[in-house]
Amino acid sequence: MFKTVPGKFIKAGDITYNDGTGAVSVYNNDVFDAEKNNLKFNERLLLAASANSEGKVGSQFFITLDSLPSLNGSNHTIFGRIMTGKDVINMIEGVDEFKLKKALYES
Protein backbone atom coordinates (compact mmCIF):
# COMPACT_ATOMS: atom_id res chain seq x y z
CA MET A 1 0.00 0.00 0.00
CA PHE A 2 1.47 3.34 -0.96
CA LYS A 3 -1.44 5.78 -1.02
CA THR A 4 -4.74 6.21 0.78
CA VAL A 5 -7.26 8.96 0.12
CA PRO A 6 -9.94 8.60 2.81
CA GLY A 7 -13.40 8.35 1.29
CA LYS A 8 -11.92 7.65 -2.16
CA PHE A 9 -9.44 4.75 -2.49
CA ILE A 10 -6.51 2.74 -1.20
CA LYS A 11 -3.84 2.21 -3.86
CA ALA A 12 -1.26 -0.57 -3.80
CA GLY A 13 0.67 -3.02 -5.93
CA ASP A 14 3.75 -1.01 -6.92
CA ILE A 15 6.12 -3.95 -6.52
CA THR A 16 8.99 -1.98 -8.05
CA TYR A 17 9.32 1.18 -5.93
CA ASN A 18 6.32 1.09 -3.54
CA ASP A 19 5.58 4.76 -4.26
CA GLY A 20 3.23 4.66 -7.24
CA THR A 21 5.85 5.19 -9.94
CA GLY A 22 6.49 1.52 -10.76
CA ALA A 23 4.10 -0.63 -12.73
CA VAL A 24 5.66 -3.81 -14.04
CA SER A 25 3.47 -6.88 -14.22
CA VAL A 26 4.33 -10.47 -13.42
CA TYR A 27 4.10 -11.20 -17.15
CA ASN A 28 7.65 -10.64 -18.44
CA ASN A 29 8.01 -7.35 -16.51
CA ASP A 30 5.84 -5.60 -19.06
CA VAL A 31 2.56 -3.71 -19.01
CA PHE A 32 -0.48 -4.67 -21.03
CA ASP A 33 -3.68 -3.08 -22.31
CA ALA A 34 -6.45 -2.55 -19.78
CA GLU A 35 -9.45 -4.80 -20.27
CA LYS A 36 -12.73 -3.00 -20.79
CA ASN A 37 -15.90 -4.10 -19.04
CA ASN A 38 -19.25 -2.50 -18.30
CA LEU A 39 -18.93 -2.61 -14.52
CA LYS A 40 -19.46 0.68 -12.70
CA PHE A 41 -17.58 2.24 -9.79
CA ASN A 42 -20.83 2.53 -7.87
CA GLU A 43 -19.98 1.06 -4.48
CA ARG A 44 -17.41 0.72 -1.73
CA LEU A 45 -14.82 -2.09 -1.67
CA LEU A 46 -14.43 -2.74 -5.38
CA LEU A 47 -11.04 -4.01 -6.53
CA ALA A 48 -9.69 -2.54 -9.77
CA ALA A 49 -6.55 -2.62 -11.89
CA SER A 50 -5.04 0.85 -12.08
CA ALA A 51 -4.34 1.97 -15.64
CA ASN A 52 -1.92 4.72 -16.65
CA SER A 53 -2.78 7.61 -18.98
CA GLU A 54 -1.99 5.40 -21.99
CA GLY A 55 -4.48 2.73 -20.88
CA LYS A 56 -1.77 0.28 -19.83
CA VAL A 57 -1.93 -1.89 -16.71
CA GLY A 58 0.95 -3.27 -14.67
CA SER A 59 0.94 -4.40 -11.06
CA GLN A 60 -0.94 -1.50 -9.44
CA PHE A 61 -4.48 -1.81 -8.18
CA PHE A 62 -6.87 0.05 -5.90
CA ILE A 63 -9.77 -0.56 -3.55
CA THR A 64 -12.66 1.90 -3.63
CA LEU A 65 -13.70 3.45 -0.33
CA ASP A 66 -16.89 4.94 -1.77
CA SER A 67 -18.77 5.19 -5.04
CA LEU A 68 -16.50 6.85 -7.64
CA PRO A 69 -18.71 7.59 -10.67
CA SER A 70 -16.03 9.86 -12.16
CA LEU A 71 -14.04 6.68 -12.95
CA ASN A 72 -16.86 5.11 -14.98
CA GLY A 73 -15.72 4.82 -18.59
CA SER A 74 -12.05 5.12 -17.60
CA ASN A 75 -9.33 2.60 -18.42
CA HIS A 76 -9.32 1.26 -14.83
CA THR A 77 -10.69 -2.29 -14.81
CA ILE A 78 -12.88 -3.61 -11.99
CA PHE A 79 -12.01 -7.24 -11.40
CA GLY A 80 -13.32 -8.02 -7.94
CA ARG A 81 -14.95 -7.04 -4.67
CA ILE A 82 -13.58 -7.26 -1.13
CA MET A 83 -15.60 -9.93 0.66
CA THR A 84 -13.68 -10.41 3.92
CA GLY A 85 -11.25 -8.23 5.83
CA LYS A 86 -13.48 -5.14 5.65
CA ASP A 87 -12.40 -4.28 9.19
CA VAL A 88 -8.79 -4.04 7.99
CA ILE A 89 -9.81 -1.71 5.14
CA ASN A 90 -11.72 0.45 7.64
CA MET A 91 -8.68 0.54 9.93
CA ILE A 92 -6.32 1.58 7.11
CA GLU A 93 -8.70 4.30 5.99
CA GLY A 94 -9.17 5.53 9.56
CA VAL A 95 -5.44 5.73 10.30
CA ASP A 96 -4.75 7.73 7.15
CA GLU A 97 -7.73 10.01 7.78
CA PHE A 98 -6.35 10.70 11.26
CA LYS A 99 -2.89 11.51 9.83
CA LEU A 100 -4.45 13.87 7.27
CA LYS A 101 -6.54 15.72 9.87
CA LYS A 102 -3.56 15.93 12.23
CA ALA A 103 -1.34 17.38 9.49
CA LEU A 104 -3.98 19.99 8.59
CA TYR A 105 -4.41 20.91 12.25
CA GLU A 106 -0.67 21.28 12.83
CA SER A 107 -0.04 23.44 9.76
- Measured CA to CA in angstroms, residue 27 lies from 7, 23, 30, 48, 56 at distances of 32, 11, 6, 18, 13
Q: Quick check: 97 pLDDT over 80? A: no
Global confidence as pTM: 0.85
Quote the pLDDT of residue 29. 67
Mean pLDDT calculated for residue range 23-39: 80
**Which residues fall within 8 angstroms of residue 71, CB to CB, at 6 or more apart?**
41, 48
Quote the pLDDT of residue 62. 97
Name which residue leads in pLDDT, 69 or 95.
69
Nearest CA-CA partner of 34 in 3, 8, 67, 60: 60
Q: Quick check: 19 pLDDT over 90? A: no
